[in-house]
Each structure stands twice: as C-alpha cells, then as structure tokens.
Amino acid sequence: MPSPPPRGLPPGAATAWVSLLLGLAALAWVPASLWPAAGLPAWPAVSLGLVAVLVSWGRGGALLRSVGGIAGIVAATAGALQIAVLWAAAWGLSYM
C-alpha cells in the first residue's frame, strides 16, 4: 500500500513566500517614503530589502524567491540613494 502524500507546504515554500512578502513590502515603502507629506524615513525600505535578499538565498520556489530578491535589491538601492541625497543635503553638499 503506497504511503499518503505529505501534508503541508513543501520544503522551503514558506521561505519563498516570506522573501516575496518582504521584497514587496520594501518596494511599497519606497514611494511612501518619497511622498513629501508622509514624513516616513527611508531606512525601513533598505533594511526590509536587504532581509528580503538574504531570505531569497534559501530554499523554495525559484520564482517567488527571485521576485522577492529583485524587489529587495531595487528597494534597498532606492532607499540608500534617498538616504545619501538627504545626508548630502544636510551637510551642504548639494550642487543645486
């Protein structure tokens, strides 16, 4: 008699979904922090993006992990650029 199929998620599926959700959350934070009236900091986009990239190195669905990782890279880069521009403006390094 064959054994029943395993129940629950396949190995690494939760990790892939976590990577996707972290990457999309980081990507959603970038325009929210760029909105002038929001007053939100940019560092959550950077930290969530980097965590999404780290989690995307795990096991699980390749498509979910790759989308999460790419979204994390884009969000971390945009957030870091925003922090750099604000830092440069605070120190009077703007050429405008």
**Token representation of residue 77:** 């880069």
| Domain extent for 20 | 15-31+42-90
Q: Is residue 37 domain-resident? A: no
Confidence of residue 96 (pLDDT cuts 50, 70, 90): low
Beta carbons of 70 and 40 less than 8 angstroms apart? no
Beta carbons of 43 and 80 less than 8 angstroms apart? no
Q: Is residue 6 domain-resident? A: no
Half-sphere exposure of 30 (CA within 13 A, CB side): 21
Q: Is residue 96 domain-resident? A: no
* The total number of structural domains that make up the chain: 1
DSSP string for residues in 16-35: HHHHHHHHHHHHHHHHHHHS
Whether 78 has a pLDDT exceeding 60, the answer reads yes
* pLDDT for position 6: 74
Q: Is 0.75 surpassed by the pTM of this model?
A: yes
Q: Is residue 48 domain-resident? A: yes
* pLDDT for position 94: 60
Whether 76 has a pLDDT exceeding 90, the answer reads yes
Q: Is residue 56 domain-resident? A: yes
